[in-house]
Copies of this chain bind each other. A is one copy, B any other.
Amino acid sequence: MQANSQQDESRSPRYYRIYQALLTDIQHGSLKPGDVLPSEMNIAQSHGVAPGTARKAVDMLVDRGWVERQHGKGTFVRRADFSHSLARFFRLTDREGVQLHPKSELLGVREVPGSAKICRHLEVAENSELIEIERVRRVDEMPLLHEVIYLSRARFHPLLDLPPEEWGDLLYPLYEQVCGEVVFRATDTLSAGPAPEGPARHLGLGAGELVIEITRLARGYDERPLEWRLSRGRLDWFHYSFDIR
C-alpha cells in the first residue's frame, strides 16, 4: 500500500477537506441539529480515504464543538444550550451551592424601525423593521438583569402573535419552535456604564447608576446574525472568572 499523493488538487490535507465538506453540510442545513452524521466508515468510503483519515475529520468537528460523539450510536450535530450562560456572570447559586434559574418577566414586544447601529450588527438594511423585546430576569424576585433584544421582523414575525403567557424563561427554544431559527453560538461583550432611567428602575437603582452591560450577538449555524441584545445588570451581583494560557 502506498500513501498516494496527499496533495492532488488543493494544497490542504484530505482530512481537512472532508472536515470542510461536513461543516458545509451543517452550516447549510443539510445536517440539522440532532441529526446523525454518516458513520466514519461511510465517510471514509464515500470520500475514498482510510477510516483513520475520516476519523480525523470528525475529530476536528468534535474539537470545534459542531458535533458530539455517542459511543455505539453515532455522531450527532450539536444543539447549543445557553441555559446556564448567565451563571458565567452572576452568582446564581443558593447557600447550598445549588444552581438557580432566573425567571423572565416580559415587559413588552414591539415593532420598531432599526437604528443604524443595530441594523449593522444584524447585517440587515438600515431602517429595516425589527422586533424589540424588553424583559427583566429575576432570581428569587430579585431583579438580576434588564434586557432589550432586537430581531429581524422578517425572520421572527411569528413572535408578534404569541400571547405573553406562552413566552417561557428562555428565548432560544422559542426561536426554534416558533420561528425555526436555531442559535448556535454567540459573542458576549462586557462593559460598564450608567443605566438609563427605565432599566435602572427595573433593577432597583437610580438613573445614572453604574451597571454592567453585556451585549450579545447570537448567530445561527450558518454564522448569520440572528439576535442582538443589551443586558444590564447590578454590579454587586456581577462576577466572572476564567483561565488564561
CB pair A186 B244 closer than 8 Å: yes
Q: Mark A185-225, 1 if CB is under 8 A from B, else 0.
A: 11111111100000000000000001010000000000000
A28 and B184 CA atoms in complex are apart in Å by 40
Q: CB-defined interface of A59-95 with B at 8 Å, one 1/0 digit per residue?
A: 0000101000000000000001110010010000000
Residue of B at shortest CB range from A88?
B244
Q: Is B191 a contact of A245 with CB atoms below 8 Å?
A: no
Cα separation A189 to B88 with both chains bound (whole Å):
11
Among A115-142, those with CB < 8 Å from B are none
The contact size tier of chain A is 20 to 34
The residue from B192, B239, B243 contacting A185, defined by CB atoms under 8 A apart: B243
- A187: which of B63, B187, B212, B242 is its contact (CB, 8 Å)? B242
CB of A235 closer than 8 Å to a CB of B:
yes
Which residues of B lie under 8 Å from residue A88 when comparing CB positions?
244
What's the Cα separation between A189 and B239 when bound, in Å? Answer: 7
State which of B65, B186, B235, B245 has its C-beta within 8 Å of the C-beta of A192: B235
Is A238 part of the binding interface, using a Cβ–Cβ cutoff of 8 Å? yes
> A12 on the interface (CB 8 Å rule)?
no
A69 to chain B, nearest CB (A): 15
Complex Cα distance A85/B243, Å?
11
- In whole Å, how far is A228's beta carbon from the nearest beta carbon of chain B? 14
- Residues of B with C-beta under 8 A to A46: none
Q: Distance in Å from the Cβ of A218 to the closest Cβ of chain B?
A: 9
- Report yes or no: A191 in contact with B238, Cβ–Cβ below 8 A: yes
Residue A2 CB within 8 A of the other chain: no
Contact: B190 with A244, CB < 8 Å? Answer: no
Count chain B CB atoms within 10 A of each CB in A80, A185, A236, A243 and give the residue with the most: A243
Report the Cα distance A190→B191, complex, angstroms.
11
Choice from B85, B191, B193, B245 contacting A244 with Cβ under 8 Å: B85
Interface residue? A241 (CB, 8 A): yes
Roughly how many angstroms separate A94 CA and B21 CA in the complex, as a whole number? 40
* B residues in contact with A239, CB < 8 Å: 189-191
Bound state CA distance, A145 and B210, in angstroms?
19
**In the complex with contacts A210-B235, A235-B210, A188-B244 CB distance below 8 A:** yes
